[in-house]
Chains A and B, each alone.
Chain A
């Protein structure tokens, strides 16, 4: 599931809930800007074992056509998926 980005960002006191509780799943910003390296998937080498999906600490890897794909809005570029991928289907490439 892709996190739901709030279109409206709170701008004043009336937009703030009265307690520290709010509908779950809302995010107010992307964190793709934290990334120095991006994981790139070679779908030829990917066997669809889902090991990267299980190990991704941010839950940004999902299934696609029997293989995997990455949500680059929220991937922070930690590189765990590259380390965990036995077929070597994930390579970290420098962000330009």
Chain B
């Protein structure tokens, strides 16, 4: 292992190099650019033996990765925001084809108004595309996720593409010290990608065929079971990861001081670090606050959320996302998890950080004070509810 001072993008690129992908196809877009720039440097200097394919668009980037993955190559791509939306046609295509591609998405706002800064509306808008969705909190987790993503996506029980999300700028462009494992360790952790569908003249395969009304549901059901199996495979991957690298991860969610918490804030991504600090501050004041960080949005951690909230008096979701005309999508999912588990406590939704707007520690403290009122509200941070003007 070697300690390096890396940005989130660079850390992810180091993780990808350790995973030895055979094909990388990508198109640059802020704030993802650096991850593919770094990887192209690795290919250039010979430290990564991969085909780096410069494509003319994100739609082609994913199509290219699908072609490579469908015949047995480990394939990587990366994008963000408008680029992800331009790829959108290919997303369910890759998931339905069960091609275990890994993609890094730098979370960024979507136009209009034009904006290059971070929020999570890009990836969350593609939640139903069939991809595994994970959200990293820091550079180390980003690097580790890059390695684990291939293990999980390529697992025989899963065979599903993996989208690793890093908050644009806040995580992709800020520098931290991260441990970069040795290639030997990485090879010990990550087996080679095996598929029965390798290009073969002796046993040719028909790839990506059609399936009519009589059999289509069967394929979609199997796709659903594949991504549900991630719940079990994540555990397996993280245990294996800990044995090799000594770092511990906690599955689909991470609980922080939730065991005896009365008031829990649920969030995801890089803002979790600040929420953790606020939780500590409130705990020092004798207030029973807790944080539940969602690490995987698909498959959705229904059981983990219900378990963390079962003894709480109230909770709230803080998300950088809005499903216009309804509420934040994470909130909708959390409520469904609680309803299925028969947990009936007030849960509120706070929509913040849109277009890269900073979320302050004071605002998070304010959210905890609001949770303690044990009422259900849906509010935009800094504006208020639907009756707040405009």
Contact = CB atoms under 8 A, between A and B. Distances in A.
A92 to B, nearest CB: 28
Contacts of B211: 20
A20 B97 contact: yes
A25 B214 CA distance: 20
Contacts of B203: 23
Contact of B98 (A12, A20, A23): A20
Nearest to B226: A18
B206 A16 contact: no
A23 B196 CA distance: 11
Contact of A18 (B209, B214, B215, B222): B222
A22 B197 CA distance: 8
A25 B204 contact: yes
A24 B215 CA distance: 18
B205 A24 contact: yes
Interface residues of A, number: 13
B218 interface: yes
Contact residues of A: prevailing secondary structure: loop
A69 to B, nearest CB: 25
Contacts of A18: 98, 159, 222, 226
Contacts of A20: 96-98, 207-209, 211, 219
B109 interface: no
22 contacts: A10-B214, A13-B218, A13-B221, A16-B215, A16-B218, A16-B219, A16-B222, A18-B159, A19-B159, A19-B197, A20-B96, A20-B97, A20-B207, A20-B208, A20-B209, A20-B219, A21-B205, A21-B207, A23-B203, A23-B205, A24-B205, A26-B206
Shortest 8 CB-CB contacts between residues of A and residues of B = A24-B204, A19-B98, A16-B218, A21-B197, A24-B206, A13-B218, A21-B205, A21-B207
Given A20-B211, A23-B203, 18 more contacts: A10-B214, A10-B215, A12-B218, A13-B222, A16-B215, A16-B219, A16-B222, A19-B98, A19-B197, A20-B96, A20-B97, A20-B98, A21-B196, A21-B208, A22-B205, A23-B204, A23-B206, A26-B206
Interface of A: 10, 12-13, 16, 18-26
